[in-house]
Structure 1
Amino acid sequence: MSRTTTTTMTVRLSGALSDFVAANVGEHGAYENVSEYMRDLIRRDKERQEKEAFERLKAELTHAYAAPESSYQRLTAAEVIARNQT
Structure 2
Amino acid sequence: MTRQNISSGYAFEDTYGYSRAVRVGNQVFVSGTTARPPHLDGDAYLQARAILALIADALAEAGADMRHVVRTVVYVIDMADTEHVAPRPL
What TM-score comes out, normalization by structure 2 length?
Answer: 0.24
What TM-score comes out, normalization by structure 1 length?
Answer: 0.25
1 or 2 for the larger relative contact order (CA 8 Å, sep ≥6)? 2
Between Structure 1 and Structure 2, the one with more helix by share is 1
